[in-house]
Structure formats: structure tokens, C-alpha cells
Chains A and B, each alone.
Chain A
Amino acid sequence: MTVMETAPLEAAPSRAPLRDFRAALRRQPLMAIGLGIIVVLVLIAIFAPLIAPHPGDAGNVTHPTETLLKPGGSHLLGTDQLGRDVLTRVLYGARTSLLIVVVVLAISALIGVPLGIVAGATGGWIDDVIMRITDVFLAFPALLLALALATVLSPSAEHAALAIAVTWWPWYARLARGSALAIAQRGYVEAARALGVPRWKVLARHVLPNALPPTIVQLSLDAAGIMLTAAALSFLGLGAQDPTPEWGLMVNQGQGLLETNWWVAIVPGVAIIFAAVGFNLLGDGLRTLLDPKAGRRW
């Protein structure tokens, strides 16, 4: 957006980042909550096999005699229509969701940031070409490209992640371009150029490190949106496929059972909201940290 391009964020120089971070957490309890939620999610994702009560239920199994059991007993959050433990599948679902988020963010940043920096720091026709390509991809809604990809390739979590990444990287290209534009005019960059430092070295050594902080903030702000998009794709049947434990897919599988067996859809639904709230709080906190003027959103 134009607003971002005209006013790139700038990192405040800091000598003790860790201490500053702790102080920031004290100042911003909401960010601390967000960080807490994400840490819990990551721990769940890593240790899912250890904490899940029925680890086997995350895979390709059915228990025809235990279908749609009410929450309680050995199935704290009940079972689904195939008799699989809902708690187990929700815990494993954290793996799928976090993995998709990380993959999408990594691909988008790896494509977008270098392109944006080259565009912003070089200018001229290279800038024009890169930004028009960016605009074309920006015009493609992630959901629709995923629909198209799902018809071309088969629907799966990987292809959904690919589709989201293809439509997500332009935002980082725009953001990095804005930062690079501002940084390229700084004295030290001009000095490096005047000294005859090769262009790619100026980009890598001076422009890139300074363009990263705003990008990192944007990555954390975007995580919730990516997770929701991935869940939406799975819900439509265009993302992860059974038996992959994925929250959006689980809501889809439980949508006809709200009347009789609410837990099948509601438990994974709450997990999605929980994770999205965590990402949103953390991202907003980081943004305030980097750019106190912008003010908190929540």
C-alpha cells in the first residue's frame, strides 16, 4: 500500500536487544499473551507424539466401535465419526498449521524481499518491470489461485501452501522496496557506492539488513491471515486431505454434526481462533516495538 511505501519503518538502534525485549513484554501485556500462545503452540507441535493421548489417531486408522463418543473418559474431547480422538487430532493439527505458516512465510520472504530490494535500490526500468509483475500476482486472490492449482495438481496441504505463497510474496516485495528506496539514499550507502563497493555487496551488506526489521514485523502480522487462508482452503476441500489432521478440514468434517456431536467441529474451530489471536497479538506487539508512533491496534 502507498502508506507503507512512503513511510518505511525504521529500527531503533539497540545494544541490548534481549533486555529491551523483556522490558517491552512488561510494557505490553497483550504481546506477552500472544507470545505465550505461540510458544505453547510450537511446543504442542513439537511434542505432539508425547502429549497426545492416542498418537495413532493422527494417522490412517479407524475405530468403528468408538465413533462419535462424547467428551470424557479416555477421550477428553470426544471422538469423530471415524472413532479417532479429537484432542489428539487437534494437537497434531498444530503441526500442520504451523508448518504451512512457516513454509508460506519462508517462500514469500525469499522471493519478495530480494526482488523488492533490487527494485527499490536500482530504480529505473528494472524497478518498473519488477513492480508490474508484483502487481499482477497481487491481483490474484490466494483462495482462487489455490482453487485453480487444486484442479491442476491434486489438493493437498503442500499445494495449498504453494498457492498461498505465490499470492503472498508481492506484499513483501512492496514492503522491502519501500525500505530499500529510503535506505538507498542514506549517506553510508552512497559512501559505499562512491568507494567502488560492488552493487550486489552494497545491497547485501547495507540495504538488506536495514530492510529486514519491518519485514519481520510484517511476517508476524501476516501469520494469522495465512493460517486462516490455509484453514479456509482445507475447509473447502482444497487443502490438506484426510487423514492429515488439519483444523479447517476437521471443522468441515464436523459441520453436519453440530446438532448431535458439536465437539467434532467446535474444538478445532476454537484451536484456529486461539492460534490466530496469538499471532495477531504478537505481531501487533512487535510492530509497536519497532514503530512506537504507529500505536497499538488492540
Chain B
Amino acid sequence: MDDIEGKIIQNKEIAPGYHLLKVKLAKSMDPMMPGQFVMLKVPDNEVFLRRPFSIYDYDQKIVSFMYKIVGKGTDLLSRAGRNARVSVLCPLGKGFYIHKREAYIIVAGGIGIAGVHALTQMLGKRATIFFGCNNIAELPLLGDADKVNSYVSTLDGSYGFRGNVVQLLAQHMEVMKNENVEVFACGPENMLKNLKKLLKKKGVPCQASFEERMACGLGLCFGCVKKTVDKDEPYKRVCKEGPVFDLWQVSL
């Protein structure tokens, strides 16, 4: 873990309201797990705290992030140009563990795809991807992941299955027939809630990545917690014990 200086080499809109940011780091980051994140200092004095972003991709000092404009921080970030300087505290949190399984299923909703992209690359053809978004305009979020075995839903039905990604998965439960299967998920909390309901009958192992407003990203402030079933210490830090949790341990 380190705070590494970097400069923006690309910051382009890939779909309306979504950007892909590429940063060249001054030095290599420590080995990362898929699903880990960084705290990025947005190059604008109006932004006080750092912002958390999932590591979308990492190779040879080039780290990239896919983000959605959701507030002031991401809005100002979207306006940052080439060569703008950023500092990147990385890699942070606990990512996805890839256990030896016979089948892997990845479920992503909207910008949640950014949190599992590194995982899709590692698993390659071994994974089946279920991706849900609002409409066809958001399809570019799926990026190069569409080359592998994937299913897509849109809420408005403009592409693929009409409905949300959990409804889509429910149509394809045959992918779970292998006893030795594991599900990885990242998306809005409602999606994870519905996913938990769907998987409950089968009790499939599932690791899910959560998000929460963060201040430090290091486990210092206890600002970004999720409630879990742990009786002793129910509130776990998303930045430290997460962002990837065992879905069955999280109270939703």
C-alpha cells in the first residue's frame, strides 16, 4: 500500500455520464486482488476528501478506473484533462478471493461492472457474466467483457432481456446446476438484496462488493460501514474488512 503520484493520460466519456480514466503512476503499485480499490485525490481544490474508485484494470504502472458522474467529486474529475496530476492511495481493502471452483458466475449492475472487471479478465472463459444496465446507451460499460460468455439485461428493454439483472439471472438458473459454483457480484444495494433472495434457496457461495461514502479508505474513521450478522461487532468497514464481503454475512 502506498500513496503514488500519477498523471492522467486519458479521461474519456464511454457512455452518457460514464467515463474511463487512465492514470500513469510514478511507480508500480503493490500486487492487487481483483475488487480492490484506490482513494484518488481529484485535481481540483473544490474537492476536499479523496474519492474511492474500484481498480478497473492495471498493467505496467497504468491503472484505469471506470466511473459514473454521481456528485461534485466525479463531476469535477470528469473535467480533468490530460496531464492533470492526481495522487492514488492504493491498493486498498479486501477484494475477491478466487477459490478453486468448477463454475464462476459474475453478476454486475450498472457501474458495478467496474468493480468486477479485473475479475472478469482473470477468470476469462471460466466465468459467465450477467450484466444489467438502464438502456442500450450504457452497453459500452461491458467493454471487452462481452467477448466471454455473457448475458445482458436493460431496464427499458432496448437491448437483451427486459428487466433487471437479477431477473435475468433467474431465467438462467441452469448455470448454477454445477454443485461447485461461486457467484461474484457488484452493483447497487437493491440488486445485491434481490440477488441474496434469489440465491437463498440454493445457498450458493457468493462474494459481493459493496460501496459506501468514505472519508479515509484506510479503516481509520469507521465512516463507511455495513451491517453484518456478526453479533459482537456488527458494523464492518467497507474500506477495510470489505469492499468484498461474503453476501451471507451482510444484513440487507
- Decide if A and B are genuine partners: no
Seen from chain A, the residues whose Cβ lies within 8 Å of a Cβ on chain B are none
Interface residues of B (CB under 8 A from A): none
